[in-house]
Amino acid sequence: MNLLFILLFAFNIHAWSPAFTQKWSKTNSLYANKVSGAEFATFWGGLRRAIYWSHHKGRVVDLKPRNFKTDIPVYLSFSNKKKDLVLFYPGVFGLADGEVTPVIIDVIEKKNLHLAVIPNITSAQYQKAIQKNNLDPILQEGSNQQNIFEKIIESVGRENIAKIHVIGESLGSFQVMTAATENSFKSHEISSITLMWPPLNLDLAIKRFDQLISKSLSNLDRCSFWWKWPSIVWETKFNQLPDLSYENKSCLGSLIIGEVFVRAIKKNAQEILKRDHSIPSNFSEFTSVIMPETDQLILKKDERLSLLYQLKNNPFLHSKFFFISSKDDFLNVKSDWELMLQSFPHLEKNTFLFDWGGHSGPVGLEGLFESIINERLNGN
C-alpha cells in the first residue's frame, strides 16, 4: 500500500449510519415504479420540495466581500448564541432567498442552527457581483468563496460558531468542491462537507444536460396534456406516490427540462447581458456567453472539473466528505460512480445512491433532508 493510502486510512473516515441507509433504501422499491423516469422524478422532487415550506426566520442581506464589484445578496439566519453554522450552496441558478430550496432552509432553522445561503455561480445575483477578469476561473472562484466566507463569519461572529458544515446541491457542489480544494475555508475547521447530486464531471454533465434539453423540446411538441394540467400537477405535488400514465410522466419530465430549466437559462442571461446580445437557450451557450473563462476549461476538458481528480489530489479532505445522489441522475452515468468508488473504496460508506430519482428528485421526500442534517450533527 502506497504512502497516500496509508495517510488516507489514518483519518477517521465517517459514514452514513446503518439507520439512515436502511430507512432511505426502502424508497427504492416504493418509488422506483410510481416515480419512474429520471426526468419525471426530477419534476416530482422539484414540486414536492416546496410543500413543506413554513416560514424562514432569517433575511437576505447584502454583503460586500473583498474584490467584489458590487454587494452580493446572502441569506443569513443566526443569533448571538454559540452553535453550528451551515453553509448551503443551492443548485443551478439558485438564489439566496431560498426560492428553490425552502425545505432545506426550514429544516436547518428548525434545528436552531446558524445558516448562510450563497447564490449559485450561474445566477445573475452572483455573476453581476463578481469581478470579471482573465484569471484562472478555478482559482478565482476559490478566492471569491474565501472572501464571501470571511464576510459570513464576520456577520455571524466567530465567537458564536461551534462547528461548520458545508452542503452543496447539484452545481452548488462544484462551488463547494472548488472552495474546499482551494482552501477557501481555511479560516475555520470544517466538520463535514455534503455533496447532493453533484456533477462528477462538469464538462460531461453540461453536454448531457444539453442533449436532454433537445430531446425534451422535441417531446413537448407531441404532448397533449395541457387541458388536464391542474389535475396531474395536483396528483404529482400532493400524492407521494402519484398514479400517472407513462405519457403524463414523460411530458412532465420534458416540461421541467425543456421549459423550466431553459426559462431559467434565458431569464438569468437576460439579467446579465446587454439588450442587443443574443440570449442562450442551453447550458453550453450560457457558459460560452456568461462564463467564457470557465467555458474554455470545459472545452479543454480541464481535469479540475472532475470530482475524481479533485479527490485524488486532496486526500486530506476524504474524512470530511459525504455524497448522496441517484444512480439514474442524468448529469452522470452509473459507471462514473462505480469508477469513483473503485478508486476510493474507503468512500463507499460515505456514499448513498438511490436507485431512482433523476436529478435531486428524492429531495422531495418528506424527512430526507432532516435525516441528512441529523447525520451531520450526530457526527456520523
3-state helix/strand/coil string of 177-204: HHHHHCCCCCCCCEEEEEEECCCCEHHH
The pLDDT score that the predictor gives to residue 242 is 86
CB of 200 within 8 A of CB of 330? Answer: no
The pLDDT score that the predictor gives to residue 281 is 94
| CB neighbours of residue 361 within 10 Å | 28
DSSP 8-state assignment for residue 52: T
Amino acid code (one letter) for 141: E
Put the strands of the sheet holding 83-89 in their side by side order. 59-63, 72-77, 114-117, 83-89, 161-169, 190-196, 321-326, 351-354
Backbone phi, psi, residue 278, to 5°:
-65, 145
The pLDDT score that the predictor gives to residue 13 is 56
CA distance linking residue 32 with residue 357, whole number of Å? 8
DSSP 8-state assignment for residue 65: -
Which of the residues in the chain have pLDDT under 70?
1-13, 51-56, 98-101, 186-188, 225-229, 276, 380
The pLDDT score that the predictor gives to residue 2 is 41
Q: What is the largest CA-CA distance in the chain?
A: 64
Counts for the chain of helices (H) and strands (E), in that order: 17, 8
Amino acid code (one letter) for 108: I
pTM, entire model: 0.92
Backbone phi, psi, residue 188, to 5°:
-140, 155
Query: Domains plus CATH for the chain?
Result: 3-201+304-377 (3.40.50.1820)
CA distance linking residue 136 with residue 148, whole number of Å? 18
pLDDT tens-digit map of 304-334: 999 999 888 887 778 889 999 999 999 998 8
Q: Quick one: how far is CA 91 from the chain centroid?
A: 4
- Alpha-carbon dihedral sign for residues 230, 236, 242, 247: positive
Of the candidates 62, 68, 191, 76, which has an alpha carbon nearest to the alpha carbon of residue 141? 68
157-181 core/surface letters (b: 16 or more CB in 10 A; e: else): eeebbebbbbbbbbbbbbbbbbbbb
The pLDDT score that the predictor gives to residue 3 is 45
* 310 CB-near residues (< 8 Å, 6+ apart): 177, 181, 304
Q: How many CA atoms lie within 13 A of 193 on its CB side?
A: 22
